[in-house]
Chains A and B, each alone.
Chain A
Amino acid sequence: MPDSKRFLHPEAIKRIGRLEIRARHIVEGFLSGMHRSPYFGQSVEFLQHREYVPGDDLRHVDWQVWARQDRLYVKQYEEDTNLRCYLVVDVSGSMQYGEGTWTKYEYGCTAAASLAYLLLKQQDAVGCVTFDQSIRSKVPPSSRRNHIMSVVQALDQQSPDNKTQLLDVFRHVAETFPRRGMMIVVSDLFADPQSTIKGLRLLRQRGHDVMVFHIMDDDELDFPFNGPTRFEDFESDAHLNCNPRALRDGYLAALDEFLEQMRHGCAKNTVDYALIRTGDPLDAVLAHYLSNRLGMHHRN
């Protein structure tokens, strides 16, 4: 049994529970009075087949296809238009870093689980994708209350490894989840910035409302190291023996340039971007961010 308490910190969830998440733009879904839908009236028209993934409702399995091809596909209907939120969580090697209480991986997964719980509580559908240089696991969106266990299980059973390759992952996600929804990316974004932005643009072009939670460790932002240090890369064999005091300014300059690129790229593609330090309290960060989104919704 997955340790659901690992990421669902009650105090954090209690504080978020008083808030309502609002879609900032046009989202698909028709949860009563809560979300605007681009569609007119309800529909039960068949949209497409999709390969079965664990967690899919067996009622939607197309048994005829199974009988003919011996493969499990589920039928997707257009009337399934609740808010669909896809949690795209980075589990690459670089997310292992963390000198404090949490690693970036733990912090990101906690944030994703908290959001999933919140969305499920308001009857929205939540799916989850973990990735490194490829998709590691997928949980299709569902609005069932016990779906949270599937999400948590998908997050918990991963061990961070390999490099990060966001463009391919985003392309795959966009193809896997063609229906528009909210795409929450939780990652340190340690990949080629241009391809990352290109991937985000692709998601936006598919109509997703994209939010990027950029998880960074305090050490990565402040670089407080002193004394001779040997730095070894998580995702490769690269290493560097140096006096970090001497390289700090150059490091911070390069990091600032990277962050600036990401902020600029997100803003340019209308992607919500939030830089989150692992040292900051998670509940306060989520509460503040979601309050901000609500405020923006009212202004719109």
Chain B
Amino acid sequence: MFENIFSSSPWMWSGWIAGLVLLPILIHLINMLRHRRVRWAAMEFLLKSHKKHRNWVWLKQWLLLASRIAILLLILFMLGQVGCHDQKLAGLLGGRVSHHYVLVDDSFSMSDSAAGASAMDHARETLAFIAGRARGRDNQRFTVLRFSRAAEAAAAAPEATALNEDPGAELTATTHAEQLVGPVADMNAQLVDSQFDQAIEQVRGNLQVSNLSTGPLESLRLVHQLIENRSSEKPLVYVVSDFRAKDWAPAPAVQQVIERLADLDTELELINCVKAPRPNLAITELAPVGSIRVAGIPLMMQIEIKNFGQTIARKVQVGLTSAAYPAETANTDPAAVEPELEDLPTILIDEIPAGESAVRRFPIFFSRPGQHAVKATLQTDSVPIDNHCWSVTQFNAVAKVLLVGGSDLNPTQYLSLAISPNRMTGIEPVPGTKATLRDAAPNDLDQYESIILADVDQLDESAVSNLTGYVQRGGGVIFFGGPNVNLRHYNDVLYRDGNGLFPLALEKVAVIPDPLEQGVPDIVPRDHPVFAPMLGIKNSPLDLVQIKQVLQPLPSDDPELRVAATARGNRRLPLVVDRKFGNGRVMAVLTTADPQWNNWSRNGTFPAVLLLMHEYVSAGRHAQPRRLVGESISYELAIDQYRPEITFVAPAANSEGTQVPAWEDRATWQVTAETRPSQANGNWTARLGGSSGETSRPGIYESWLQSNATGMQVSRMALNVDTSESDLNIAARQPLIDALSAANPTFIQWDEFQPETVRNRSTSLAKLLLVLLLIGLVLEQLLAWSASYHPKPTGPGLKSQLKQSARWSRQQAA
């Protein structure tokens, strides 16, 4: 219950108490034994007094003894700096514990440096100030929580931090909050005692800027639940942050949590560690543009640099480095793999206006298949971590395209020639039939970048299923029409009222009448990526294409349906359409791929348009959402294909202590996969990162899988920082205070921090002890005064005695 000397050893503190209780009693008994012997004459009066006051004398003696024992114990408690663990007891005693919750923003914008000191340096200094404030009082507790750690805890147990309207769920969340905060807090409810200084110094040393972009919401929610659970304490919440506009203005969710904190009588102090926004550039995108990613074929990359500052950035240099990884073998040591680094030509951007972005493209070339990486680097500015960006691209030996024809193979031959006129395209056409689709295993079709069906009359059910699954997984399919197409089958099986694979319903075969005048193109392109290169070009070769017949579709109001080109005529019959399906995309060219209904296949634009269509529909297979640091890397592997051991190789802290790891700074984790309970016979699962912080650094992450069939398989991915954090604009002070007016927060700069809060209403157990001690001392003095003899400075001497005698004599005479 009590701290300090009372928490050291029960024998020690019980010995102290027993000794201090016995000490006055022993002194009293010794004094009784050491009494003075006096031969006394006026014994009669003494005995009379003793008989009359015996009980009261005993009571006063005991009270005096008890008060002296109490005084000694109170002094012991005060010297021992007694605190109280039991909050309810402390509340009853009047010594309500003040709990300081310090929420430290460790998002990477806190690395914003000015005059040699970063915002995080100011945060560390502020933490020392707050600790000093707590150290000057009694009955203080201290909790330090970083934004990123609170977010990790929330990610680990989202149900615990979700502010739920259901009171029962709120209670559960509060209970979970106590369990969650323990592992993630830098300091959890630490009593401010003799060991506090050492602990707070250790916490200050551990405070580092993370690579994450984490707002205050999760930490405030977690603290709110903790305060609810610790209702007997006096909460003081300090938010030490850079108060970027993206997190604080406007922030209705944050405002809501702070209002709830105010309902719990929380004192809120907002401490800003940054005085003014500084210019900052960040690489917001680095990704390949095309979808034909074949070794030996150049690939265009696109890079976007955004100027988050308020002034024009001039002469921006972007350094580029490509990293070609060697092919892995069964005996390859994951930790020993070193990429071949090559510096690419630097990109120079003359200027980037304030708040705008600049996009540039550059080619990369890798001669070997595999997953290779590119890194872009800006020159150092206020926030260094967002000046680096990584990208990983899978390069195959060839890009396979499955060409499926119907009874007439002529169209596939035209398609094969068009899509792979030479090896420079990197595409390998693979002829197939309807049986190829029908008999394919579930994932067999994934080897093809795209699948083109030309004048296929109809498909078996299994073929439709395989094709549907392929597209839903990101594959691209291109349908070409023709006279053999079974319209009813397409409508019923492939279109299925908009739920199927085919993008629209077909009505009939329509004949395009001859034009009334010469020079009118039969193909009217629209604003679509496939026809984008041909838009606005005068005398385009596309104008020479003649369309005789098309598959006329039924009118459709599907908003997902996109028309890339229409046929000539007032009806503007759709000629080329596409629709997204699952993660993939389906295009339909409502005319033949061979010269039956048109002469397009003999036109020079046909191979180009076909390649663009291939690139367009297959883009879903290469869609790589920008993955951010802190995300987990997880795998679900077939139990009969992979061994359960996975080796993860991740960027590690480098020897120089900078935030940006170099290529050679890597760490290796061996992770044993676990069998998923729901699919005990199906898959392994393995996971890296998440709440463990293993994916907290930007860079290239490798996952080394052990396949039973092919040996080692490596999967690389790039994790980059969230550049929304790069916006260094600071929330305006007064609007922020107005928005949080319910909590009446104190908003100050870090260098304005005061040793005492404005509203320090807390009392402490030591003050109570001091008051009790003073009362005890006064009581003891009163008792001792009443039980002792104090001669008067001027007593009744001879004169007064004789005057008294004279008075009696006068009475006698009278």
Contacts and interface: CB of A to CB of B under 8 A. Distances in A.
Interface of A: 93-97, 104, 188, 190, 217, 220, 222-236, 238, 240-251, 253-255, 258, 263, 266-267, 270-277, 280-281, 284-285, 288-289, 292, 296, 299-300
Interface in B784-814: 787-789, 791, 795, 797-798, 801-802, 804-806, 808-809, 811-813
Which of B32, B42, B60, B808 has the most CB atoms of chain A within a 10 A radius of its CB?
B42
A140 to B, nearest CB: 29
B180 to A, nearest CB: 64
Interface stretch (B5-13, B48-56, B204-212): B48-56
A226 B784 CA distance: 11
Interface in B746-799: 787-789, 791, 795, 797-798
A243 B802 contact: no
B37 interface: yes
Contacts of A255: 42, 45
Size bracket, chain B contacts: 35 or more
Given A240-B50, A245-B789, A271-B812, A227 B41 contact: no
Contact of A254 (B31, B49, B791, B805): B49
Contacts of A253: 49
A253 B42 CA distance: 13
Given A251-B46, A266-B808, A273-B808, A222 B791 contact: yes
Nearest to B36: A229
Contacts of B787: 243, 245-246
Contacts of A285: 798, 802
B812 A267 contact: yes
Contacts of A276: 801
Interface in B205-259: none
Contacts of B39: 96-97, 231-234
Contacts of B417: none
A276 B801 CA distance: 8
Contacts of B571: none
B49 A251 contact: yes
A43 B529 CA distance: 171
A192 to B, nearest CB: 10
The 7 closest A-B pairs by CB, nearest first: A250-B49, A228-B35, A94-B41, A254-B45, A97-B41, A246-B57, A233-B43
Interface in B242-286: none
A284 B798 contact: yes
Given A95-B41, A97-B40, A243-B787, 7 more contacts: A224-B789, A232-B37, A245-B787, A246-B61, A246-B787, A255-B42, A258-B45
A107 to B, nearest CB: 13
Interface of B is mostly: helix
A243 B54 CA distance: 11
Contacts of B330: none
A185 to B, nearest CB: 15
A242 B31 CA distance: 11
Contacts of B53: 246-247, 249-250
A242 B41 contact: no
Contact of A227 (B35, B61, B801, B808): B35
Given A273-B808, A292-B806, A227 B36 contact: yes
Contact of A289 (B34, B35, B805): B805
B348 interface: no
B44 interface: yes
Contact of A222 (B57, B795, B805, B809): B795
B811 A267 contact: yes
A280 B50 contact: no
Interface of B: 31-50, 52-53, 57, 60-61, 787-789, 791, 795, 797-798, 801-802, 804-806, 808-809, 811-813
19 contacts: A220-B42, A223-B789, A224-B791, A231-B46, A235-B43, A238-B47, A242-B50, A245-B787, A246-B53, A247-B50, A249-B53, A250-B49, A250-B52, A251-B45, A251-B46, A253-B49, A275-B804, A275-B805, A280-B801
A270 B812 contact: yes
B49 A190 contact: no
B40 A277 contact: no
A190 B44 contact: yes
Which of A217, A251, A273, A288 has the most CB atoms of chain B within a 10 A radius of its CB?
A251
A251 B808 CA distance: 23
Contact of B41 (A104, A248, A258): A104
A240 B809 contact: no
Which of B43, B61, B813 has the most CB atoms of chain A within a 10 A radius of its CB?
B43
A96 B789 contact: no
Nearest to A191: B44
Contacts of A236: 43
Contacts of A284: 798
A292 B809 contact: yes
A248 B791 CA distance: 12
Contacts of A258: 45
Nearest to A277: B801
Contacts of B805: 273-275, 289, 292
Nearest to B804: A275
Nearest to B788: A245
Contacts of A225: 36, 38, 789
A289 B802 CA distance: 8
B792 to A, nearest CB: 9
B789 A190 contact: no
Given A96-B41, A233-B40, A240 B812 contact: no
Contacts of A249: 49, 53
Contacts of B813: 296, 299-300
A238 B61 contact: no
Contact of B802 (A94, A248, A288): A288
A228 B808 CA distance: 37
Given A245-B789, A263-B808, A288-B802, A229 B38 contact: yes
Contacts of A277: 798, 801
Given A250-B48, A251-B45, A270-B812, A275 B801 contact: yes
A191 to B, nearest CB: 10
A60 B31 CA distance: 65
A267 B33 CA distance: 46
A287 to B, nearest CB: 11
A224 B35 CA distance: 15
A232 B38 contact: yes
Given A228-B36, A241-B35, A234 B41 contact: yes
B35 A230 contact: yes
B32 A254 contact: no
A251 B49 CA distance: 5
Contacts of B791: 222, 224
A247 B56 CA distance: 10
A227 B35 CA distance: 7
A222 B791 CA distance: 8
A280 B798 contact: yes
Given A243-B61, A250-B52, A285-B798, A266 B41 contact: no
A266 B808 CA distance: 9
A234 B805 CA distance: 28
B43 A238 contact: yes
Contacts of B40: 97, 231-234
Contacts of A246: 53, 57, 60-61, 787
Nearest to A251: B49
Nearest to B813: A296
Which of B49, B57, B60 has the most CB atoms of chain A within a 10 A radius of its CB?
B49
Nearest to B33: A228
A95 B42 CA distance: 10
A168 B45 CA distance: 23
B39 to A, nearest CB: 5
B799 to A, nearest CB: 9
Nearest to A250: B49
Nearest to B814: A267
Contacts of B35: 227-230, 241
A246 B62 CA distance: 12
A242 B806 CA distance: 37
Contacts of A96: 39, 41
